[in-house]
Structure 1
Amino acid sequence: MNQSAKRYSPLQVALIGGAITSTALFSVFGPAWCRSVRAALQDSPKAIVDQVWQLVNREYVDGKFNQQNWVTIRQQLLTKNYSSREEAYIAIREALKKLGDPYTRFMDPKQYDALTSQTSGEVSGIGIRMEVNEKTKRLTVVEAIENSPALKAGVKAGDQILAIDGKATQSMKVDDASKLIRGKAGSLITLRLGRTGQNEFDLKLTRATIEVPTVRYALRQEGQKRVGYIRLREFSAHAADQMRKAIRDLGSQGAESYVLDLRGNPGGLLQASIEIARMWMDSGSIVRTVDREGVSDETFKANKTSLTKLPLAVLIDNNSASASEILTGALKDNNRAVVIGSQSFGKALVQSVHPLGDGSGVAITIAHYYTPKGTDINHKGIAPDIKLDLSEVQQRQLATNPDMLGTQRDPQYVRALTALSNTFALPKQPNSTSQRPASPGAVNLKL
């Protein structure tokens, strides 16, 4: 039985990271000062300020706090009076800046909610992808997602969204339209649609919780060979299940090799990257994390649960980061795949994300990671086996025409086909379809 992706939702991840003990570190000050602090923290924005300080003090990867006196910073934070939460948020952000780590960051409730929605791989809405059409300048449906209220109601690609609950969408940005369309599961929404060959019409839909597709795949017939092309956009909580389905579907269609496209993938959940690596590898180390004491926290390895042993090429670029680099590093260092493209981003830090009492949140860098061969890629990135940088024109073409990705009009994909062709002279290995689930492993966010 496959693991439930919801088991590793961001909220649970953060809670597993450790409960917050508001008095755990009060002993570093005098008793009288401690009593005054406790009184000041009751029902005050200072409660959030101290909650963040406590978490950073306990978990942050740099025990020297970037040469800052972290205890003094706490005293300074708690001697201030905050007239609002917003004022406290500013103080928290200023304190975190002193760590010199852009990945240790505070998020207000809206930012935290956006992050958890993204990494959960779920949204509450009607299940469409949309864009502002370049020619018509109208908000237009690109796709109705599988099993979504929109698809079940008959929404089609190319439909123009003219109004959302009576509000005209003329000149409306996609982000603004998304905010109107999203809402509580079970609530109603009315879209006014325009469709070629029909009069405008209203369509009532009921919002639902929808799994966002983060994996897209297709079987390509390239000459005499069948190539399974898989594009992974981010490592959300549902990414592993979607990747498992993609590998198995393509295998059942007779794929003889695979191209895994991680270009532009900014990362996501550490656990998802480990699970996906195990789908491609039967043995070998995946990643090693090191904590603030310089001690190896844990080494994650393959566990003989690979789904295929067929030839594999991986595409990366300058925006392939974090969890993408963990997966790429594991496949490269274990000689499981040939890596093609541009140098990756270079982020070798692990964050744990915690919810705070008022709905805000904080991400804290808790560990450094190394590839199986012990390489530190932070600020360096992973060098591809075959370096092929795209020109600005080529990058622009692929960005504005995503349907070109993974086709003969995609230079890096074409180069991957050449690299894979060299492997067909070798004895063909069986395509395993093991049903065993991946090990739970770590539960920290890798952002």
Structure 2
Amino acid sequence: MIQPFLKRSLLWLTLLFWFATATPALALTEEQKLFNEAWRIVNQSYVDPSFNHSNWFQLREKILKKPLDNRDQTYTAIEGLLAKLDDPFTRLLRPDQYRNLQVSTAGELSGVGLQIGFEAESGDVVVIAPIEGSPAALAGLLSGDRILTVDGVAISGRDLDEAAARMRGPRGTTVALQVLRDQQTLDFELVRDRISLNPVRSQLDRDGDHPPIGYIRLSQFNANASVEVAHAIAQLDQQGAEAFVLDLRNNSGGLLTAGIEIAREWLNEGAIVYTVNRQGVLDSFAANGQALTDKPLALLVNRGTASASEILAGALQDNERAILVGDRTFGKGLIQSLFELSDGAGLAVTVAEYETPNHNDINKQGIQPDLAVEQSEPLFAEAIASAAVRQYQAAVTALTEQVRHRA
């Protein structure tokens, strides 16, 4: 008779023998390891735990059974995997694309100066906003234009990075764009230039029958944005500004941290944004009692106002710190994180959704301004803060009333 402990020992030996024979060790190639690295990042971080209702483990096994003979095949396999998520913001950034993205959030780049996005309904590449003073802005490209071809090559919104890469290039070289605007096809030939990414421009407006207005134009939430906005607030305050206009029109976003820091420069207390991750865990960021001014504030917004700009706009609107003037915003309520792969490529992965302080989900809906004023004029750098611009003038009128009530 076999003792109970001996039975258990024999059972464990049998199981171990079966496991060893049934699952032989597989040595992954370098290409398979890179693919697996990307798969694991998404598996651990992606906001949707159902992975768009796909069997994420089965997808990995299926792809790993196929030969990956070179790096290009591996990148293609990763891109095919990510396509199953049907999320244009979760994407592979090949090494040159990843380096360009890092530069664009910290310094400058060479290209035509277009911020572009993907429209899910049509699959088109859509201009969110041209960068002020860039070749694209000077040529007259507008927010909402749909880019059809770059140098004669048709592009798809599902590969934003390829579209962006085709438009970048050495200073002085030309690139041809074909766009669709209001059912009309337009052709542009642009000369690439160095694109300055200094995100802030400011001036004191003393013209007209209104109090001195401190005008701050914020074009991007890059690494320098919060410091530059704080400097502009202090400088305009010293010059006698009695109210402020913060212009977020055609600001397509950037760093989440910059948006939060800038909200704290205007907001003394209250929630700024709530984020919801894949576990449904609600996190929040709040003001820290260090606002730089409490003077009346108006935000200018339009359909090119997106992402971190909408976080800032939602925070100041919901806390009744600012009046929003202009058009409904773009509607991007998703947050991405960047992950660097071991070969220098990167992954942009949607890791959370965000809500405004009043728990409004603005994804694909945008934020409705308090004072709706249609933008009828192109945004040219030399004229956007003048009485001739209807949205700016509407903001000045509203601020003038607030200043007089405070007196």
- TM-score normalised by the shorter chain: which range applies? 0.7 to 0.9
CA distance in 2, matches of 1:134, 1:307: 34
- How far apart, CA to CA, are the structure 2 residues paired with 1:331 and 1:132? 31
Partner residue, 2:360: 375
Q: Is 2:44 the partner of 1:58?
A: yes
Q: Which residue of 1 aligns with 2:3?
A: none
Query: Which of 388, 400, 407 is the equivalent residue of 1:421?
Result: 400
Counterparts of 2:197 and 2:252 in 1: how far apart (Å)? 16
Cα 1:133–1:357, aligned 2, differ >3 Å: closer, same or farther?
closer
Match of 1:272 in 2: 258
Aligned position for 2:28: 40
Match of 1:318 in 2: 303
Q: Which residue of 1 aligns with 2:179?
A: none
TM-score by length of 1: 0.68
What is the rounded CA distance, in whole Å, between the counterparts of 1:133 and 1:422 in structure 2?
34
List per-residue Cα deviations over 1:403-436 (Å, max 9, x = no partner): 11111221110111111111022225xxxxxxxx
Matched, 1:79 2:65: yes
Shift of 1:34: 7.5
Give the % identical residues. 41
Distance change >3 Å, CA 172–CA 98, structure 1 → 2: closer
Whether the 8 Å CA contact 2:46–2:351 is kept in 1: the answer is: yes
Distance 1:33 1:419, change over 3 A: farther
- CA drift of 1:357 comes to 1.2
1:300 is aligned to: 285
Letter aligned with residue 325 of structure 1: E
Question: What is the DSSP-based 3-state SS (H/G/I as helix, E as strand, rest coil) of the residue aligned with 1:292?
Answer: coil
Change (3 A) 1:134 1:289: closer
Alignment CA distance shift 1:406-1:59 (3 Å): same
Tell whether the 8 Å contact from 1:49 to 1:77 is kept in structure 2 after alignment: no
Determine if contact 1:266/1:324 at 8 Å carries over to the other structure. Answer: yes
Q: For structure 1, which segment, 77-86 or 330-339, has the greater mean C-alpha deviation from structure 2 after superposition?
A: 77-86
Distance 1:342 1:310 in 2: 24
SS in 2 for 1:414: helix
Structure 2 partner of 1:327: 312
Distance 1:102 1:33, change over 3 A: farther
Q: Which aligned segments of 4 or more residues in structure 1 are displaced greater than 3 angstroms?
A: 30-34, 121-124, 129-135, 167-178
- Structure 2 match to 1:19: none
* Residue 91 (structure 1) shift: 1.4
Task: Please state if 1:409 is matched with 2:394.
Answer: no
What is the CA–CA distance in structure 1 between the aligned matches of 2:102 and 2:56, rounded to whole Å?
A: 28
User: Within the alignment, does 1:350 sit opposite 2:335 as a pair?
Assistant: yes
Q: Which residue identity lines up with residue 382 of structure 1 in the other structure?
A: I
1:70 correspondence with 2:70: no
Unaligned segments of structure 2, at least 5 residues: 1-18, 111-132, 140-169, 177-188
In structure 2, give the amino acid aligned to 1:424.
V
| TM alignment of 1:215-254, pairs within 5 A | 215-222=200-207, 223-254=209-240
Q: Secondary structure at the residue paired with 1:422?
A: helix
Q: Which runs of 5+ in 1 are unaligned?
A: 1-29, 136-166, 183-210, 429-447
CA-atom RMSD in angstroms? 2.8
How big is each residue's C-alpha offset from its partner over 1:93-112, in whole Å with a ceiling of 9 and x where there is no partner? 11111111111111111111
Measured in 2, the distance between the counterparts of 1:133 and 1:65 equals 38
* Cα-to-partner distance string for 1:310-343 (whole Å, 9 max, x where unaligned): 0000011111111000000000000000001111
Provide the C-alpha distance between the structure 1 equivalents of 2:395 and 2:171, rounded to a whole number of angstroms. Answer: 46
Provide closer, same or farther for how the CA distance between residues 175 and 275 of structure 1 changes in structure 2, counting only shifts above 3 A: farther
- Taking structure 1 as reference, are residues 351 and 133 closer, same or farther at Cα in structure 2, changes over 3 Å only? closer
Contact 1:52 1:362 (8 Å CA) reproduced: yes
Compute the displacement of 1:76 (Å): 1.5
For this pair of structures, how many residues does the alignment match? 325
Distance in 2 (CA, whole Å) between partners of 1:306 and 1:411 is: 29
Letter in 2 for 1:226: P
Label 1:66 to 1:217 Cα distance change in 2 as closer, same or farther (>3 A): same
| Change in 2 beyond 3 A, CA 1:47/1:130 | same
Q: Distance in 1 between matches of 2:138 and 2:220?
A: 26
Asked which structure has the greater RCO (Cα within 8 Å, sep 6+), the reply is 1
1:283 aligns with 2:273: no
**TM-aligned CA deviation for residue 117 of structure 1:** 0.7
What's the secondary structure of 1:288's corresponding residue?
strand
Q: Quote the residue 1:164 is aligned against.
A: none
Structure 2: which amino acid aligns with 1:370? E
Cα separation, 1, equivalents of 2:201 and 2:403:
25
The alpha carbon displacement at 1:49 in A equals 1.2
Contact 2:135–2:191 at 8 Å: present in 1 too?
A: no
Q: Over residues 46-87 of structure 1, what are the superposed CA-to-partner deviations in whole Å (9 max), with x where a residue is unaligned? A: 222111100000010100111000000111121221222112
**For residues 287-308 of structure 1, what are the alpha-carbon distances to aligned partners after superposition, in whole Å with 9 as ceiling and x for unaligned?**
0111111121x21110111000
